[in-house]
Amino acid sequence: AQSVTQLGSHVSVSEGALVLLRCNYSSSVPPYLFWYVQYPNQGLQLLLKYTSAATLVKGINGFEAEFKKSETSFHLTKPSAHMSDAAEYFCAVSDHGNNRLAFGKGNQVVVIP
């Protein structure tokens, strides 16, 4: 089964600094990859997705992610953190054979003023 690994459950970043959240996947076939965001007291919402088109994917709120097959990675970045970016971020991979998404353990992002 496909899976994703997110390291570092809590990530602290200063306001205005780069946000970098790492995601590595394991897959025997070309995957579809996703980042979801969960703001406090809200449901998860799709931030961006990679479905075998452009390897650099842009999402909402200034986030982007790059698919690197050689590194089996799909890291999420944002050049300048904003206080409103404080949330939990989940990387996910599509398990084509079973019609489900497999999620990582998530990164809780704290933005320091």
Partner 1 sequence: GAGVSQSPSNKVTEKGKDVELRCDPISGHTALYWYRQSLGQGLEFLIYFQGNSAPDKSGLPSDRFSAERTGGSVSTLTIQRTQQEDSAVYLCASSLASGANTGELFFGEGSRLTVL
Residues that bind partner 1 (CB under 8 A): 6, 9, 32, 34, 36, 41-46, 49, 51, 90, 92, 94-96, 98-106
Q: Which is nearer to partner 1, 51 or 61 (CB)?
A: 51
Which residue type occupies 19?
Answer: V
Q: Which of 2, 6, 4, 3 is nearest to 108 (CA)?
A: 6
> Minimum Å distance from CB 15 to partner 1?
26
Q: Which is nearer to partner 1, 56 or 113 (CB)?
A: 56
> Minimum Å distance from CB 101 to partner 1?
6
Q: What is the CA radius of gyration of the chain?
A: 13
> Minimum Å distance from CB 104 to partner 1?
6
Please give the Cα distance from 36 to 1 (Å, whole number): 20
